[in-house]
Amino acid sequence: QSALTQPRSVSGSPGQSVTISCTGTSSATGGYNSVSWYQQHPGKAPKVIIYDVIKRPSGVPDRFSGSRSGNTASLTISGLQAEDEADYFCCSYAGMYTWVFGGGTKVTVL
Amino acid sequence: EVQLVESGGGLIQPGGSLRLSCTTSAFPVSGDYMSWVRQAPGKGLEWVSMVYRGTTAYYADSVKGRFTASTDNSQTTIYLQMNNLRVDDTAVYYCARAPYCTGGSCYSRYYFDSWGQGTLVTVSS
């Protein structure tokens, strides 16, 4: 149950795009179509913004998008807005009814 | 989404026991995967446990043998019995649901669409 690897922080100016990577083993991020991304503002519970690698729940702005290449999943925020400043966590189903999270990435809007 | 409300957190000495509860606002579908996810102060999220159909539970290696997840008979309340607590178990514990039925279709899903507000467990002498 090794954690997924994310950059500790990324930053961008309003309107710019930022991409957060999430790298795991082939049995986690590469092997399952069950990578999800969560946004967490300080003092709040996480909120799902991407699931099944690329799907977006209703109500989540379309500036959030997900992708995957090999063992690396990515979250891209296009047209960065002030309210996007938060922590972002990737998560993958790891088989045998277990899950693994990434260490989290702090997004700063400059 | 469903509303989830956790309770039962508090300050406990190392080696002690605590039971957390998570109450759902809606009658759960028996195929939902109900998980506990924790977050140590200033740290990331860590999946802890999942209980399925009220009887089958799975655990992270870090808590295996010390924590037990279960539900009540109606499966509207999920419990996490935590024994032999350690200082590094200090965290906010969230209850989270991976839904079975959503958007008009039913099948196993492996993402968490509903989260509680969390309950803080502090293990300290």
Calpha distance B123→A103 (Å, rounded): 22
B58/A102 touch (CB, cutoff 8 Å), yes or no:
no
Given this model, what pLDDT does residue A1 score? 58
Q: Looking at residues A70-83, what average pLDDT do you find? A: 95
CB pairs under 8 A between A and B: 64
User: Chain A closest CA to B58's CA: distance in Å?
Assistant: 7
Q: CA-to-CA distance for B78 and B2, rounded, in angstroms?
A: 14
Nearest residue to B121 (alpha-carbon basis) of B11, B42, B6 = B11
pLDDT digits (tens, 9 = 90+) for B56-80: 999 999 999 999 999 988 878 999 9
Tens digit of pLDDT for each residue in A15-64? 999 999 999 875 555 556 789 999 999 999 999 999 999 999 999 999 99
What residue ranges of chain B have pLDDT lower than 50? none
The beta-strand segments (E) located in chain B are 4-7, 10-12, 18-24, 33-39, 45-52, 56-59, 67-71, 77-82, 91-98, 101-102, 105-106, 114-115, 119-123
Half-sphere exposure of A105 (CA within 13 A, CB side): 27
Is B47 in contact with A100 (Cβ distance < 8 A)?
A: yes
Q: Please give the residue of chain A at the shortest CA–CA distance from B41.
A: A43
Q: In this prediction, what percent of chain A has a pLDDT beyond 90?
A: 83
The answer to whether residue B100 neighbours chain A at the CB level (below 8 Å) is no
